[in-house]
């Protein structure tokens, strides 16, 4: 099970890799509510590789802050790979970073549906050339789901960096 210590260690690894590659990261977070940005900025010197974070918890914030089309949210729902893709790409357009991650999901305990139960989380990672998306079904209480989502998002950055080498 992912823990806050796991999250901290992942953030350090991501930071080391980004610093070596001379790249900056931006985040667009919904269900994690800034948890990823918080884990990153707990690290001294993260300003050399973390450009900015967007907490776009509401659908309106997704549209206003990072340009996610409201029609896309209406068509697919906020928790979807289409919206995760638009969030990651929108975060890049609205920052000076070269890599973005996005997270949108249902952390619970309420808010789940039959099609998108509690623990459904969609992720996006973009490097201005490629955007990768994934949906996972995480288990646990609200805090556990949020920590797992944040950790998975950071692991995705490491994967994207590995694939670009």
Determine which helix (DSSP H) or strand (DSSP E) holds 107, and give its type and residue range.
none
Determine which helix (DSSP H) or strand (DSSP E) holds 63, and give its type and residue range.
helix 59-66
The angle at the Cα of 122, spanning 131 to 72, to the nearest 5 degrees, equals 75
Q: Which domains are delineated in the chain?
A: 3-163 (3.90.950.20)
Q: What is the pLDDT along the chain (165 residues), one digit of tens a residue?
A: 789 899 999 999 999 999 999 999 999 999 999 999 999 999 999 999 999 999 999 999 999 999 999 999 999 999 999 999 999 999 999 999 999 999 999 999 999 999 999 999 999 999 989 999 999 999 999 999 999 999 999 999 999 999 887
Is the pTM for the entire model greater than 0.85?
yes
């Amino acid at each position: 099970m992912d823990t806050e210590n796991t999250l901290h260690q992942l953030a350090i690894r991501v930071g080391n890799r980004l610093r070596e590659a001379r790249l900056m990261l931006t985040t667009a977070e919904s269900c994690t509510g800034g948890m990823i940005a918080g884990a990153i900025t707990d690290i001294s010197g993260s300003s050399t590789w973390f450009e900015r974070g967007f907490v776009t918890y509401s659908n309106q914030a997704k549209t206003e802050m990072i340009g996610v089309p409201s029609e896309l949210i209406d068509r697919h729902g906020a928790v979807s790979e289409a919206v995760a893709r638009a969030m990651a790409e929108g975060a890049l357009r609205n920052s000076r970073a070269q890599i973005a991650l996005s997270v949108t999901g249902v952390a619970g305990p309420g808010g789940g549906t039959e099609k998108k139960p509690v623990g459904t989380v969609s992720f996006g990672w973009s490097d201005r050339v490629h955007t990768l998306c994934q949906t996972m079904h995480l288990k646990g209480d609200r805090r556990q789901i949020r920590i797992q989502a944040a950790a998975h998002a950071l692991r995705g950055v490491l994967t994207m960096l590995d694939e670009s080498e």
